[in-house]
Amino acid sequence: MPTWDQWDNSHIENCRVIAEIDNEVVGWSALSPVSSHCVYGGVAEVSVYVSPKFSEQKVGTQSLEKLIIESEKNKIWTLQASVFQKT
């Protein structure tokens, strides 16, 4: 597991969303660059986490929608993601 500094340095600062319900953090989403090559400057990888306790409340969907808006504000035109769900 990465340290906070490693995680913080590997994700785009302006493309992070915190999901809260009743002042409790229940999830987050963030973008990280897919490559340091300038040709990939507008491409990012999506990470989304939702607490299992809130998995049926559309937290991930709402977080991702906000993240897409932030990505467009920051000139990111392609988002890449893999989806995994703990069962």
- Tell me the per-residue pLDDT of 48-86, one tens digit each, with 9 for 90 and over: 999 999 988 999 999 999 999 999 999 999 999 887 776
SS (H, E, C) 33-77: ECCCCHHHCCEEEEEEEECHHHCCCCHHHHHHHHHHHHHHHCCCC
Q: Which residue has the tokens 């937290």?
A: 59
At 41, is the pLDDT very low, low, confident or very high (cuts 50, 70, 90)? confident
Q: Which CATH number fits domain 4-80: 3.40.190.10, 1.10.150.120, 3.40.630.30, 2.40.50.100?
A: 3.40.630.30
CA distance 9 to 70: 18
What's the rounded mean pLDDT across residues 24-28?
Answer: 96
22 φ/ψ sector (left φ>0, alpha ψ -120 to 50, else beta): left
Query: What does pTM read for this prediction?
Result: 0.85
